[in-house]
Homo-oligomer: A and B are copies of this chain.
Amino acid sequence: MDTRVPNIVVGRLPIYLRSLEHLAEQGHGIISSHQLAALLGTSAAQIRKDLSHFGEFGKQGTGYHIPYLIVQLKRILKADQEWEVALVGVGDIGHALLRNRDLPRRGFRIVAAFDSDRDKVGTRFGQVTVHELEQLAQVIQGQGIQLAIVAVPPAAAQTVTDALVAAGIRGVLNYSPIAVSVPDHVRLQQIDPVTHLQHMTYYG
């Protein structure tokens, strides 16, 4: 039944998972859909409806068993495995991502980085060496990397995205403040602070 799940529902599952993991870290074992809804600013009906696409995860009146629901959501999102990620652009955002320990802790390991700046090529961040852009296809195909983060200036974002798609990348997370296009078989997500700020100014 997975093929019928609306994309918008899929997008909410990682938010539920993050919130449940936070609750588990705080020592909580059980939570009702009403409590979870209050934490997330949504409705209990919405959460129950979203989860019902994937099975039966809670009993009426007893709430959700947090560790169990975490395991199930991780399985659904394929977050129970480690994913290798390519990073293009080792500027400010790229640096921050290379130093971000939350990414590997939650299953996403940046294993290759690329930059067009010759001064950055060859520098190392932990296990990761910065390659020149010309090596992009070779490294990505050689390591079978499926996910990439684009953190380049806006003018370069589409060219870099096209090169990633040509190299076989299946999912692109775009940090550049510009819309990029990908073919239908490639997933695209954008980090856009303005959409988050506008969500808040609505209430302002």
Contacts and interface: CB of A to CB of B under 8 A. Distances in A.
Given A8-B42, A108-B197, 6 more contacts: A6-B46, A14-B198, A76-B202, A91-B96, A173-B196, A191-B193
A192 interface: yes
20 contacts: A13-B199, A13-B202, A15-B195, A18-B179, A18-B192, A22-B179, A77-B199, A78-B201, A78-B202, A92-B95, A96-B96, A100-B193, A102-B154, A103-B177, A107-B194, A108-B194, A108-B197, A171-B201, A171-B204, A191-B191
Interface residues of A, number: 63
Contacts of A77: 198-199, 201-202
